[in-house]
A and B are shown apart, each in its own frame.
Chain A
Amino acid sequence: MNFFKHKKNSGDRFPCQQITETLSILPNIPINQDMNQNIEILKSAYTDCSDVVFREFTIGARTKAALIYIDGLSNTQEIDQQVLMPLVQLESFDPGISIENVSKKLAVSDVSVIKTITDVIKQISIGNPVILINNKIKGISIGLPKWEKRGIEDPVAESVIRGPREGFVETIRVNTSLLRRKIRHPALKMKQMTIGKFTETQVIIAYIEGIASNTLIKEVTNRLERIEIDGILESGYIEEMIEDDPFSPFPQVLSTERPDVAASSLLEGRVVILIDGTPFTLIAPCTFASLLQAPEDYYNRFLISTFIRWLRYLFFFIALLAPSAYVAILTYHQEMVPASLLLTIAQSREQIPFPALIEAFIMEITFEALREAGIRLPKQVGAAVSIVGALVIGQAATTAGLVSSAMVMVVAITGVASFLLPRYAAGIAIRMLRFPIMILSGILGLLGVMLGVIAIVVHLCTIRSFGVPYLNSIAPLKIHNLRDVLIRAPWWAMNTRPDSLSTELGNLQRQPHGQKPGPSKGGD
């Protein structure tokens, strides 16, 4: 680790400096009196930028002006009708009139006055056309951005049977509107910042004032401000830059593309980070229990949800331990298997040339590869892969005598179990941890499995997510918080918010007590 750090520090000085220099010429320059000079500076900044349009025109037949925008980012039709037309057709233009008054003449809702060249560039790059007028030291930016965007669709990565069908999209404003439509209260705050030297990506920190703790908001803001990076193309960039323990296999920031999940996290006192350009928003802090909670848990009736949650817990362990337990028992503890089962396994294993551990590895790796291939390939080919995969894993491998049918069963149940984890990132962590435990089980038997489990538990106990212990409400045991971990308490009983997230504010009460429904409670 040391080695890397030294190298990085000494290495990145030189090229980084150079780039900032070229960019930093611009900020300090205010808009010049002479418009041509401004245009010169901008043109030099936008050398070889074929998509930047400089449209020069005259106002009132005499005053020279220029409209600058990036083609494809702005609504040119509206600009023509609402901005250019009234200005060009103006019969008399008083050169002494202030720029503010000019802006009032424009029939556009979002108009702002800007003063520096940097602002000009900023406005242009987010799609707001800028008008510069000769002899004026200010410019007008017109809020008419327009670009092609995807419509709101069903979230693909997190599908539910019951629940809202809309998912976040790539445009941050659409995403904030989706959130705002769910939480209308003005306490929902959305702090904006820009990250990425070149991408200048908009990042919005959303939280509910009064529910989310101030330290948490501050910590999230600090960590985001610390990021110095060339570009943010997906929320994964940010996730990796703000994690507590970058070497942990477990995700410490949740990601979701469902507005309802984001909204429910906000209501619990978490912070949601929206990033422009990706439908995946980040939720912090994240606890281990929340990895095993599906959005649908909260939409179905609580008995069903509790049952499904337990099923998920059970299969979490199966996903983690089934192959290693099988290997351990079959190579070290044959006496543990019931006699008739051992005989059946012995029969099916008789032709297998590999030790159980190797056999398990072959199957698990094949399975993981098939799954990965199924994701990467285009949909039409993906179906073919899964059919071939099922044949390879299920039928051909056993008939060829490469793997025993019992092992196929184990791998299949493990595969199904790993699909039960609602969070994809958690699923990957479990899939990954399966392999070291399998090696341990092959070396030390059940003792090795236990060692692996202990190591994982110890690790889970040590990590934190934004100051919240990862195993919160399980490891620092809080009985009342287990209402949303061990079971899914009915909504009329979930009267308090998870206290680890909003302790300092002291407003844990979510709703009044005694809302359990029943017949003739109303009194009428």
Chain B
Amino acid sequence: MMDSSRRRKNNYISLVLLLCLIILLLAGCWDRTEVNDLAIILATGVDVSKKEAIELSVQVFIPKPAEGGQQEGVSSGTNSSQTLVRSAEGVTIADAMSRLQEKLTRRIFWGQNEVLVIGEKLAKRGIEDQIDFWMRHSEPRERADVFVSMDSAKEVLESMPELERDSAKQLRKLVDSQIGVKVTVKDLSEMLSGEAGAAVIPWVAKLSPSNLGVNKGKNIPFIQGAAVLRGDKMVGWLSDKETRGILWPRNEMKSGIITIRTNGETGYVSLNLLRSNNQLMPKIMNGKWSIRVKTDADLEVIQNTSNLSLLHSKSLKEVERKVVQEIEDREKLALSKTQEKLNADIFGFAEAFQRKYPRIWRRKSSEWKEIFPKVDITFETKVNIIRTGLENEEARKGGEEK
């Protein structure tokens, strides 16, 4: 009897435990969505509409089943677009999104949105409110790349690149090649909330299509320099060359080819950048603010059309000196424009000062706008050519004799 009552009690307990487990399952399924019910957004554009409202444009993937391949692959494959662009207006992005949802049969899915294009007009008015949606809402990716487009963002989304699947992929690939700046929503938010209060965003321009075939009239987006923001408003634009110059002090220069010409030589030497490390060394002395941009770079020679023999350390030194000069020239070009013309501290000078002189910074931070243009900038660049490549000195000399 004892045994059976205990067993009954055990059974009771296990039943209760089982019920608890089943309760756990009740929470299930509520956010279940099939891929078929999603409107997968690949890129988003934000503009100011004619009615002065926010215009949200999205590039939605059309999941057309893949073609059988054999019969009509060539004729239809290139022409048909895999994406569509829809837009809606609203007071805010979220408001526009709810309007947009009315136009789409499937649920808007932000999870794969990796590109955010901001129209120039909106960028000039301020983007803080727009970025807020991206940071606050849980669905959109904070690692989406941000761009500022020359004209309306919608136009960029609608454009058809030739090589890539859609403009979203085109922009992402361009920015991943590390030739220009790469800014994600998270970076942008950090830059805007930082001490400097300035940001730089890749600038999208239009490239006319290469052939006059199917895509006639449609432009191809590409990156051309960068937009500079002070506060959350766009104040200016840097050209490609200037953009390259700002990469050094920002410590974002990771690859690139530098071609120089030494004094008294006819040919050129091209060097490939292998590694570079940059540091900002701030200094406040007698009320004079100055900063030293320290650069360490390793390069390898990839082409030499000059008569210099790189086997001799003397000529190698000469090349190194020239490279240093070249790097510093680029930096100066970018710095002079941002410092004097735009007055936007996009290099993180403010943070550097704050870190080193926190007390002074606390007093002077409000005056940074006045101080920044007057900051004295010096350069200390160290270049190390670690590989000169295979060199045939005899052939070079032989060429001289003729």
Contacts and interface: CB of A to CB of B under 8 A. Distances in A.
A350 B65 contact: yes
Nearest to B11: A2
Interface stretch (B22-30, B219-227, B238-246): B22-30
A355 B37 CA distance: 10
A348 B66 contact: yes
B31 A339 contact: no
Interface residues of B, number: 30
Given A339-B112, A443-B25, A334 B38 contact: yes
A344 B27 CA distance: 30
A349 B42 contact: no
A334 B114 contact: no
Contact of A2 (B7, B139, B141): B7
Nearest to B111: A335
Contacts of A350: 36, 63-65
B80 interface: no
Given A339-B114, A350-B64, A444 B25 contact: yes
B312 to A, nearest CB: 50
Given A2-B11, A343-B40, A332 B32 contact: yes
Contact of A448 (B7, B28, B35, B141): B28
B11 A346 contact: no
Given A335-B112, A339-B114, A346 B28 contact: no
Interface string A333-347: 011000100111111
Contacts of A448: 28
Given A339-B114, A342-B40, A444-B28, A334 B35 contact: yes
B35 A345 contact: yes
B33 interface: yes
Contacts of B268: none
A352 B40 CA distance: 17
Contacts of A332: 31-33
B361 interface: no
Contacts of A342: 35, 40, 112
Centre residue among A331, A352, A445 by max chain B CB count within 10 A: A331
Nearest to B7: A2
Nearest to B61: A343
Nearest to A455: B21
A352 B63 CA distance: 12
Contacts of B129: none
Centre residue among A334, A339, A448 by max chain B CB count within 10 A: A339
A356 interface: yes
Interface bracket on A: 20 to 34
A436 to B, nearest CB: 12
A331 B61 contact: no
A456 to B, nearest CB: 14
Contacts of B28: 443-445, 448
A346 B141 contact: no
Centre residue among B32, B35, B40, B66 by max chain A CB count within 10 A: B35
B289 to A, nearest CB: 45
Nearest to A359: B34
B368 interface: no
B109 interface: yes
B202 to A, nearest CB: 19
Interface in A342-396: 342-352, 355-356
Given A2-B11, A334-B109, A444-B25, A349 B35 contact: yes
Centre residue among B38, B65, B141 by max chain A CB count within 10 A: B65
A330 interface: yes
Contacts of A356: 34-35
B108 to A, nearest CB: 12
A348 B65 contact: yes
Contacts of B31: 332
Given A334-B111, A342-B112, A443 B65 contact: no
A144 B35 CA distance: 73
B51 to A, nearest CB: 33
Contacts of A2: 4, 7-8, 11
A131 to B, nearest CB: 55
A346 B141 CA distance: 19
A17 B192 CA distance: 91
A363 to B, nearest CB: 16
Given A331-B34, A332-B31, A346 B61 contact: yes
8 contacts: A2-B11, A332-B31, A332-B33, A334-B35, A339-B112, A349-B36, A350-B64, A350-B65
Given A335-B141, A346-B61, 4 more contacts: A335-B111, A343-B61, A346-B40, A356-B34
Closest 9 CB pairs of A and B: A335-B111, A443-B28, A346-B63, A350-B63, A444-B28, A339-B112, A347-B63, A346-B35, A350-B65
